[in-house]
Structure 1
Amino acid sequence: MEFKWLVREELSQLRTIDRKELVEEVYYIKNQALQLVKEYYDISGWLESELTIYEQRLQSLFDRDGIIIGAYEENVLVGLVSLESYLIDSKTMKLDMLYVSHDYRRQGLGRRLIDIISQEAKELGAKELYISATPVRNTVDFYLRLGAELANPPDMYLFELEPLDIHLILPI
């Protein structure tokens, strides 16, 4: 596995990440606690409209001096993590994105990408990452296993952008 800091021209490679996932449970916040609810979604991959938005988001992040790191297997992007370039407060940076291709999940790649981006955040003065996670059980459980906790209270600006997400803080 090769890890590299992406340049703007490489950001469209996001589409090579296999996003498929079978979702059977999602989290909601009830009374300031996580509650699992059975819901079924068969995510077959990227929606083209969604992919366009995410590519534009990465380009904007890149233009703001954000950090975007890719994981490559045989010159194919199979994982990506990105970090905003600024502190939200005196100690927190926002993890912007984390995606790992379907066939590379549960093999430590996500953890490795978080370790790499956490080191970058530390070097920029952060002590924790703010994570706005999709409420899918696998995603939220991944962050909880890393030591993340519910953001209490969540950042109001970020919460308003993604009110259905699970807002977490990960000490680094």
Structure 2
Amino acid sequence: MYKVKKLHLSDLHEHMLDSFERRQVTTNVWMVESNDFIEKEDRFVDDWSIERKREIVNHFKSIIARGGSVIVAEQDMNVIGFVVIEAETFGELTAYRELSYIHVSLPFRGMGIGRKLFIKAQEVAKQLGVDKLYIGAHPSVETQEFYKRMGCVIAEEIYHEIYQRETRDIQLEITL
């Protein structure tokens, strides 16, 4: 059994993501054209090196120190999923915060962990006074289906700094 918890700086350590399996094989993606989703074939693999995992742990430290939140799912002291709510609020019309990461380790996918993390992220974001979460979401069909099930829609405001990080990502939001 796993538990979901919000992390504090004292919970972080350099090796906490070492056993995390990010690997995702993508064969089809969704693209937005004229505000409609179009499915296209696009084959690639996403994976993280140990160095990348350590960079992400350092990012966790920065986020928590600046007032953002990191929520993890843990089993037997191992991180099997996590979600990150960035510290900065933005948006011309709405108080957005970016949900910059939500990942479940490969062996634990399909068990509802991502759903529980997403729901917990919404609760924490509300406590932070956020109106909406903004997500530059991976374009894979599976990822987009997850966000659709969670109630996400195409973002009303496009935050160009996030869009420019990965122009193939679908810019989504969810109202809290």
TM-score (ref. length: structure 1):
0.87
Give 1:110's aligned residue.
114
User: Is there any run of 5+ residues in structure 1 with no aligned partner, and where?
Assistant: none
Contact 1:11 1:58 (8 Å CA) reproduced? no
Q: What aligned pairs does 1:131-146 form with structure 2 within 5 A after superposition?
A: 131-146=135-150
Distance 1:49 1:37 in 2: 32
Q: What aligned pairs does 1:87-98 form with structure 2 within 5 A after superposition?
A: 87-89=89-91, 90-98=94-102
Give the fraction of aligned pairs with identical amino acids, expressed as a percent.
24
Deviation at 1:73, TM superposition (A): 1.0
Deviation at 1:116, TM superposition (A): 0.7
Contact 1:15 1:46 (8 Å CA) reproduced? no
Which secondary structure does the structure 1 equivalent of 2:167 belong to?
A: coil
Query: Is 1:40 the counterpart of 2:43 in the alignment?
Result: yes
Give 2:34's aligned residue.
31
User: Is there any run of 5+ residues in structure 2 with no aligned partner, and where?
Assistant: none
The amino acid of 1:32's aligned partner reads: N
* Residue range with higher mean Cα deviation, 3-12 or 63-72: 3-12
Distance 1:12 1:162 in 2: 27
Give 2:7's aligned residue.
6
Runs of 4+ in 1 over 4 A off after TM superposition: none
RMSD, aligned α-carbons:
2.0
Contact 1:83 1:93 (8 Å CA) reproduced? yes
Q: What aligned pairs does 1:64-83 form with structure 2 within 5 A after superposition?
A: 64-83=66-85
Number of corresponding residues: 171
Contact 1:14 1:80 (8 Å CA) reproduced? no
Give 2:170's aligned residue.
166
